[in-house]
Amino acid sequence: MSSPVTVGFVGLGTMGRGMARRLVQAGLAVSVFDVDPAAVEDLVSAGAKAADSLESLGAQAGVLMIAVVDDRQVRQVMGAPGGDGLLARAAAGTVVLIHSTIHPDVCRDLADLAASQGVQVIDAPMTGNPAAAASGSLSVMAGGDAAALSRARPALDAIATKVTRLGPVGAGQLAKIANNLAIAITTRAVREALQFAEAYGIDSDAMLTLLASGSADSWVARNWRTIGETADSYPGGPAGLGNLTYKDVSLALSLAHRAGLPIPTGAVASQLLTDAYVAAHADALAHRDRRPPPG
């Protein structure tokens, strides 16, 4: 009989908090770490244990999950064998899942570093929003060893309804960056369509319904106000969410340049993201204000 999966989770922010809660709800033994004590306490109250350091977390969990913001933070969390961070004391056979959207080269570098002590890295970025994280309905794009991915499946199955292995380490990040490029372009397109319609007296209630029911349907059109609500609660508001997406589109632009591939629509969309999120946020608030009070 295989031993139960023990999970260590780092990064209890907009997405990570809901993901960690799902792990607890699935009955897994979960320890968490975050720089925000309130976020840790929230998960402890839900049934997780608090790790006192990244090093102790790395030593005690068979599956380590990272949901921080960028390349720098992921490198800092991972650390190095014999040094600090998760790799300081992680045992051979440990699987590290990197859920952050970062450069695929960083994932490859960290995978090589971890392999020196028998730890395997899977890049596992996900699509979805905070509600999907909380309900366990994310979609995960994975890159890395198939056997390591299989060992991590109990944790992944708790947070996602779909897990797709796309190839070696880095492949998951490439797919996620392509996905976010499409979202950025579509977000800008929906923003301009609503702006155009509003200029001629067609409100967003009517236009969003039309977009979602016809040939212009998209995830963005169907979730326009959810995007606005996410911006409302995201650190930094709409500008913060715009900066996060800009980071992902910038990765796409850099990788496209490496491949000699022009993506001009992505380049333009990247400069206009904050405006789109500001518009979605304003529309979500206006719609909320128009709703009748409950009862």
Query: Would you please indicate which residues are annotated as catalytic (active-site) residues?
Result: 176
CA 233 to each of CA 145, 180, 223, 240: distance values in angstroms, whole numbers, following the listed order: 36, 20, 16, 10
Q: DSSP per residue over 130-154, as a string? A: HHHHHHT-EEEEEES-HHHHHHTHH
Classified as helix, coil or strand, 216 is coil
Please state whether 193 falls in left (phi above 0), alpha (psi between -120 and 50) or beta: alpha
Cα(46)–Cα(42) distance, integer angstroms: 7
Under DSSP, is residue 37 helix (H, G, I), strand (E, B) or coil?
Answer: helix
Beta strands 138-143 and 126-127 are antiparallel
Position 98: which residue type? I
What is residue 3's DSSP assignment? Answer: P
